[in-house]
Amino acid sequence: MVPIRRNQARRRPGWGWLRALAFGVYLAVLLRVTVFKFPAPLWRNGLDPELLVARWRWSVNLIPFRTIAGYLAGEPSPGVAMQNLAGNVLIFVPWGLLWVWCWPRRASARLVTASALVASGILETAEFFLGTGSWDVDDLLLNVLGALLGYGAARVARLGFRRA
């Protein structure tokens, strides 16, 4: 019998595959909802330099809170605004929940924020280059807010924080 050190994590066999499967399914759904949301590939001409410049000019927002302010003002319509605000927050709530469940020893607000920011940035960039969406810094902010809400909910519920 090998003694377990005080700060060495004990692993319960059989749960790793379930955690990996849950996170993998979430990532697949996240990609489908955000990047591959249209049935027909709209990105056939996506790497044409002229189209990229035109898309950069009209579908990139680098100014924080510009889109959020428009949505809060009810633009383009209150229904679309609420759908976009709530959708961008809610789609990343599972990120925070699953992070705590899958990596309880590495679950901190800083790591959840950083990982959600990187993942959201990758998704926004993919949407831009594939032509299935715009690149908006406000989406990153809302996605990170969603991940932090999920993280907070997991902390309150104490998911994955039981000491073995």
For residues 152, 155, 160 and 164, what is the CA-based torsion angle, rounded to 10 degrees?
Answer: 160
User: What is the predicted pLDDT for the residue at 163?
Assistant: 47
Looking at residue 52, its pLDDT comes to: 67
Angle at 142 between CA 85 and CA 134, to 5 degrees: 75
- Please tell me the predicted confidence (pLDDT) of residue 58: 78
Cα–Cα dist 116/145, whole Å: 9
**Under 8 Å between Cβ of 23 and 98:** yes
Is pTM, for the whole model, over 0.75? Answer: yes
Delimit the domains of the chain by residue range: 59-164
From first to last of the 164 residues of the chain, give the pLDDT tens digit: 555 555 545 555 567 889 999 999 999 999 999 988 876 555 555 567 777 677 777 789 999 999 999 999 988 999 999 999 999 999 999 999 999 999 888 899 999 999 999 999 999 999 888 888 889 999 999 999 999 999 999 999 975 555 44
Quick one: tokens of 155? 């902390």
